[in-house]
Chain A
Amino acid sequence: MSEINLPALRNAISPYLPLGRSGLLPALHAAQAVCGWIPPEAAAEVARLLNVPLAEVHGVIEFYSLFYNEPVGRRITRVCTDVACALKGGDALLNGLCAQHGIRPGQTTLDGAVTIESAPCLGMCDLAPAVLTVDDGRWTVGDGKLRPRSPIYGLNRLLTARCGRGRQTTLAEYGGYEALRKALRMTPEQVVAEIKASGLVGRGGAAFPTGVKWEGAAKAEGSPKYVVCNTDESEPGTFKDRVLLMDDPHSVLEGMLIAGYAIGAARGYFYVRGEYAYMLPVLQAVFDSARKAGLLGENILNSGFSFEVEIRLGAGAYICGEETALFESIEGKRGFPRIKPPFPTTHGLFGKPTVINNVETMCNVPLILKMGAQAYRQIGTEKSTGPKLFCVSGDVARPGVYEVPFGVTLRELLAMAGGTDGGTEKETEKQIQAILFGGAAGTFATAEHLDVRLTFEDLRAAGLSLGSGVVMVFDHSRDLRKVLTKLGHFFAHESCGKCYPCQMGTQRQLEILERLAEGKSLPGDRERLQDVGWTMTDASLCGLGQTAASAVLSAMKLGLV
């Protein structure tokens, strides 16, 4: 049995006791910070203090990748080996680091100093290969930096106007929350109407009309109501929310405040993925400065509107980006998605009416209020309004976040990104083997799709998905079978295990893809892959399983494999 420092542990957990069960993830993070891992005695103490059954505390520790139920190194280095980073040598970097320390991935050095792991997408595909290190509680990226760089390009600088300085925008630079002031002079119904009129749809992947969502929650019976900012950005290939939050966090907070006012909520949550822990000081500083300026807390700007925010740190589970799994996680449970309906607008966080929006969606809100819905609609196309951030990565000269109006073509976007490494436009067209659209849960395109306009309607017509804005390019030097295996591994690793099609389908899919990549396919493997893929798509409980075969099936359809 390990020796644990009980007074220090109790002290670290004490701030979360008033939260009850909902304080379980924060308390486990705190326990891990004290002990370096979560020994049974520490878990039992957390269970006792929060009054949560032991077995359920165990279930939660087991669910989340960043909680450790056995000793790990004081320094943990995670190297991304997912698709975009694999193209840039992620696996070689991982193996090299391990060799230096004489260990294998997932192992800890004998002196207990260092653990090295491979990690699913860390949201730094623009800086591939990505490395994330936590050293005695201090988080760094790459070779010891406190924050990732933010390469930003494109035609517009509306959402990203204040991004790319290499630091967060201060309140003085950001301004006086003019959009919030304007909203507070309107009725909540008028604010909802303005968002509806803007045509804004969610930027997290599902493209649901934001105004309709807000209206549903505003009209729903039940109180209190909540606003949640989904900062669980984990779709492989996606890193735009990281840039927005690190560089222009006030804009996200302002959007959240406006949402709160519009639906009648007094509390909001930022659910930040565990791998973005380095954001916490940034967010805390933003809350502090906003609070000092009377923009957060009681009676904001003397309007009578009050709003509090709380940060919740995830602990390594892609599924928690699914909105209902995210609620479960805030509530201190394993991140199992719930059956829908009922939808979050009526039965969301703690079973109460909830609006949950992606970071980029939140950032569009102040923009709409400032510009007015009609002017906002002038950006983009009739059906896809506003600016859009694309996360361009893979075999391009300039990976990064690209802000463009909806409607530019894929060809134009790739030209902005400098084409495939060093290629002219003509050469790029020849060099492109495939483009992954919308992330791991997305679809493949080829050079034949270069003239597709990047809008919801055009992409849908072309059988592609915009998803979270991922555009990942693969040139002809790449083995797409290996790419598919990476995707298959990602879903098998991240399936929550609740519903049968996804729990077993992601595993069976991975096994067939591994055979394919090794050139050892069995007769009937294509049919197996299709049956598994269609079954996951058609019968899974949540969006993860429903899209876990999307890229694979599209690659087969295009004849890429």
Chain B
Amino acid sequence: MLKIVLDGQEVMTAEGATLLEAARAAGIEIPTICWHPATTANGLCRLCVVEVEGMRLLQPACIVRVAEGMKVQTRSERVIRARRTILEMLASSVDLSDSPEIRALMQEYHASAERFPGAKRRDVPLKDDNPMYVRDYAKCVLCWRCVQVCAEDAQYTYAINFSGRGYETEIGTFFDAPMPATTCVFCGQCVGVCPTGALKPKREFLLEQGLKPEEIVTRSSGRKQRRENR
């Protein structure tokens, strides 16, 4: 165990823990978007940034490990400005209607969804190309989790990667092939880790469109038709 100071409060914490783990163990909530217990932390949403004494820039709590005597501010003015601005930029880029957690964070940080008038949004048409799930990248926050679980973090299927770069980045398949034409095995792991409803089970999507359960018919049960043994 070692001792760190979180928001002025001395905390004993396990060696090797990240600041995020140490804070959560101490009951201090640090917000995250890209972080997920099942995926490799990439420190890319930067919502978990904190101020560490002696470091010039804000540090991602999901990555930085505790060290003896470390002094950390999880809600300093700089931290709050960064979190609020990131959330405001996100709301100006992406459809967050299916992201209640992120909208709750926006309230908490007094982030305005209208902060950036005239901002170019990542409005892209929904992709409905397979019977299992739909892809609505207008809701995608580029957390990378789906790409990670499709690759080395879980499935080793490598059906998806990135198209474009920078603000124009989008999750994509090989030359935009429809999902059934890729290596996708429809394991559903990407849908399971998507934090914003950009990936959604087809059935859930159809129900939201107003279809009744009995109207949603699957073409095949997938079971082998056996001849009755007479």
Contacts and interface: CB of A to CB of B under 8 A. Distances in A.
B44 A498 contact: yes
A532 interface: yes
A54 B172 CA distance: 11
Given A498-B44, A539-B57, A504 B175 contact: no
A47 to B, nearest CB: 8
A507 B46 contact: no
Nearest to B92: A508
A496 B44 CA distance: 12
Interface residues of A, number: 46
A496 B151 CA distance: 20
B167 A507 contact: yes
A249 to B, nearest CB: 31
A501 B174 contact: no
A463 interface: no
B73 interface: no
Contacts of B42: 339, 498
A500 B158 contact: no
Nearest to A495: B166
Contact of B49 (A54, A493, A539): A539
B175 A43 contact: yes
A231 interface: no
A145 interface: no
B89 A55 contact: no
B119 A511 contact: yes
B86 A535 contact: yes
Interface stretch (A58-66, A164-172, A443-451): A58-66
Nearest to A531: B85
Contacts of B78: 534, 538
B43 interface: yes
Given A531-B81, A534-B81, A540 B46 contact: yes
Interface in B17-70: 33, 42-47, 49, 57-58, 60, 63
Contacts of A54: 158, 174, 182-183
B162 to A, nearest CB: 5
Interface stretch (B110-118, B131-139, B188-196, B217-225): B110-118
Given A59-B162, A495-B167, A498-B44, A539 B86 contact: yes
Contacts of B167: 492, 495, 497, 503-504, 506-507
B158 A494 contact: no
A506 B166 contact: yes
B160 interface: yes
B159 A507 contact: no
A142 to B, nearest CB: 29
B159 to A, nearest CB: 6
B44 A508 contact: no
A528 interface: yes
A541 interface: yes
Given A55-B182, A538-B78, A539-B57, A500 B86 contact: yes
Nearest to B164: A62
Contacts of A511: 116, 118-120
B90 interface: yes
B13 interface: no
A56 B89 contact: no
A317 B119 CA distance: 25
Contacts of A59: 161-163, 172
B148 interface: no
A399 interface: no
B165 to A, nearest CB: 5
A549 to B, nearest CB: 12
A534 B57 CA distance: 11
Contacts of B161: 53, 55-56, 58-59
Given A40-B174, A498-B44, A511-B119, A53 B183 contact: yes
Interface string A541-552: 100001000000
A499 B44 contact: yes
A511 B121 CA distance: 12
A319 to B, nearest CB: 8
Contacts of B120: 507, 511
A59 B85 CA distance: 29
B74 interface: no
B116 A508 contact: yes
Contacts of B159: 55
Q: Which of B63, B116, B118, B172 has the most CB of A within 10 A?
A: B116
10 contacts: A57-B174, A62-B163, A339-B42, A500-B46, A503-B142, A511-B119, A515-B118, A535-B82, A538-B82, A539-B86
Given A40-B174, A497-B164, A497-B167, 16 more contacts: A53-B161, A55-B158, A59-B172, A62-B172, A496-B166, A498-B42, A500-B90, A504-B90, A504-B92, A505-B85, A531-B84, A531-B88, A534-B82, A535-B85, A539-B46, A541-B43
Interface of B: 33, 42-47, 49, 57-58, 60, 63, 78, 81-82, 84-86, 88-90, 92-93, 115-120, 142, 151, 158-169, 172-175, 182-183
Interface of A: 40, 43-44, 53-59, 62-63, 69, 317, 334, 339, 492-501, 503-508, 511, 515, 522, 528, 531-532, 534-535, 537-541, 546
The 8 lowest CB-CB distance pairs between A and B, nearest first, are A53-B158, A59-B161, A497-B169, A55-B161, A504-B89, A507-B167, A54-B174, A495-B166
